[in-house]
Structure formats: structure tokens, C-alpha cells
Amino acid sequence: MFRAHQYLRRFGFGVTTLGKALSNKLSYPYFDSDHYFWFPSDPPFINRRPPEERNAMINSEMAGNDNWILGGSVINWNNNWQFDLSVFLYIPPAIRIWRLQQRELERYGDIIYTDRERNKLYNEFIDWARGYDELITNSRSLHSHKNWMKKLTTPLLIIEGDTTVEERVEAVLGKIKELIL
């Protein structure tokens, strides 16, 4: 039996969209790491939860589910998850940044341009996102994700390029079939 504990990484790559599409297709609950990493706030994504609290919270909510999908970057969470499949999405930087800019505008509206503090946060976020491919740190960067992937002992599916959600879902389902056989 294949237990679908799938881990998807995020960052403007379409991970949440893919996770929710897989959740709908497979009827598995989808857990988004941002929900556990950050305290709710306005503006959002300002105050981090303590690691022990976020891990206890997500483990409690996942308990009792044989199959689940986890989206987000959890490479430094020091949790004891055993993923049956990890999925790494990578989209070229220019497309990724454009998507992030569109997403931020859709989520928050013009306030990201008109309010001084929100504009500062928006620009800091976009600048940080632009550095993803070049940063060599332990934070969320291409370098740290590649290092994490090298250490995986369970299957990994890498999807690169500006693929559609449907193509991604089919790639994941194809990999699951391959693993079951």
C-alpha cells in the first residue's frame, strides 16, 4: 500500500495550487506550512510561531490521517516526517516573480503600493524572493532546497518549467503509480 504523504515546496511556484488540486483529486487533506509557521496577523506573515508550537500544532492536526499532503518549505523544521513522495517545483525566476507580484496585488489590493509600511513590506518580500536562486544560506533558497533533496531517502519528483496545474497533477499521479507498481 502506498501512503500518500506528499511534501510540496512553495515560493510562487504554484505549490498551494498543486496541493489543493491533488487534495481534491485524491480526497486527502492538504496542510499548508505557512498556516503553522506564522501567527495570524494583519498584515500577514510577520510573526513566526516558535518551532515547538508549530510542530505540535501540525502533528496534532495531521494525526489520524493515513494520507495527507503538505505544502511549503519545511526543510528546517526538525520534524520526523517520512514522506512517501516529495515534489520539488521550479519555475524560472522571471515567471515566479511576476506570479508573486500578481498574487500580492490580488490578495491585498492597491494598499501594497499606497500605504508606506505595506509598500515597504511588499518590496522587501519581492527583493527576498528575487534572491532565491542566488542565496547560499540555510534559509529558503534554491541552494538549501537542493541540499535538502540530496539527503532524502524517499522518492523525489522534480517538475521544472512553467507547466499547467493539470500537467503537474498528472506528473504526481504518474509517479505515485510508478511507486505502487
Q: How confident is the model at residue 104 (pLDDT cuts 50, 70, 90)?
A: confident
Least confident of 11-15, 54-58, 115-119, 122-126: 11-15
Percent of the chain with pLDDT over 90: 48
pTM over 0.85: no
Residue ranges of the domains in the chain?
5-180
Cα 67 from Cα 3, distance rounded (Å): 6
Kindly report the CATH class assigned to 5-180: alpha beta
pLDDT at 169 over 90: yes
Mean per-residue pLDDT, 162-179: 93
Q: How confident is the model at residue 53 (pLDDT cuts 50, 70, 90)?
A: very high
Mean per-residue pLDDT, 89-102: 89
Mean per-residue pLDDT, 132-137: 75
Q: What is the pLDDT of residue 13?
A: 62
Q: How confident is the model at residue 131 (pLDDT cuts 50, 70, 90)?
A: confident
139 or 165, which is more confident? 165
